[in-house]
Amino acid sequence: MTPPFINEHPVRLRRTLRADGYIVATFKYASALTQIDDQATALCHFIEGLEADSITLIGQSIGGIVVDRALAHGAFQGSHLNIGRCRIRGVVRIGTPCGGSAFASGIVASVGAARLTRTPLAEVATGLPPDAISDRIVHLNIAGSLNGARGLNPLIDGPDDGLVGLSEVARGDTTHTIIVRASHYGLTSHPETLKAARVFLQGVT
């Protein structure tokens, strides 16, 4: 089976996928304290060190942005993207603000961009444009939404999961997005998230 790759700590998702027979590797990093390029470089080195021929990447929140940036370090062999010798079969993002983050923008505005130069918040606030390489990979985005059209966070326009708005999750590429009634921190353990991730992995193996 294709081993899915998970960064951050979605414990229930990790256990679910292991119970399905997948091999799960966890990449740990200081998500709020390290710049995205440094995180992406470290992720690539981690992938290169795995004893796997193919992997599926799963990134939660900022982790999904790190995954996107890491893909830019890969190289295509025909229609397949490889990082090192590992073929990248697909990407799942859970609550990832691909289109920028109003919440992060509020932090940057209140604290000051100059004081946040060593953190990824400024990049998360403005969003990262989809890379041409990542656009050629099969994606699944899982977004959270609570409290209807008003959302939970007054800093975010429209529905949100408390930290990330639905409009911030959407991408204009080959992504399929599903919406789950869950908060940002409850997304990874929600039954609908688990089901969607399992179905996605079955489709790319």
Torsion-angle region of 58 (φ positive above 0: left; ψ -120 to 50: alpha; else: beta) = beta
Sequence letter at residue 75: A
> What pLDDT is stored for residue 149 in this prediction?
80
Query: Tokens 């399992």 sit at which residue?
Result: 198
pTM, rounded to two decimals: 0.86
Check residue 102 and give its pLDDT: 84
Confidence (pLDDT) at 58: 94
Residues 31, 50: Cα–Cα separation, whole Å: 21
Neighbours of 167 (CB within 10 A): 16
**Predicted local confidence at residue 123, as pLDDT:** 76
pLDDT at 136: 77
Residue 20's pLDDT is what?
A: 93
pLDDT value for 125? 78
- The domains of the chain, with CATH numbers, are 4-204 (3.40.50.1820)
**What's the confidence (pLDDT) of residue 95?**
92
Helix 11-19 vs helix 191-204: crossing angle, to nearest 10: 50
What pLDDT sits at residue 53? 92
User: Which residues, other chains included, contact 63 with Cβ-Cβ below 8 Å and sequence gap of 6+?
Assistant: 7, 8, 31, 96
What pLDDT is attached to residue 2? 46
Residues 54, 35: Cα–Cα separation, whole Å: 27
Q: Please list the rounded mean pLDDT of every run of 10 residues in the chain (205 residues).
A: 48 91 88 81 93 92 89 85 91 89 79 62 73 75 87 86 87 71 92 94 83
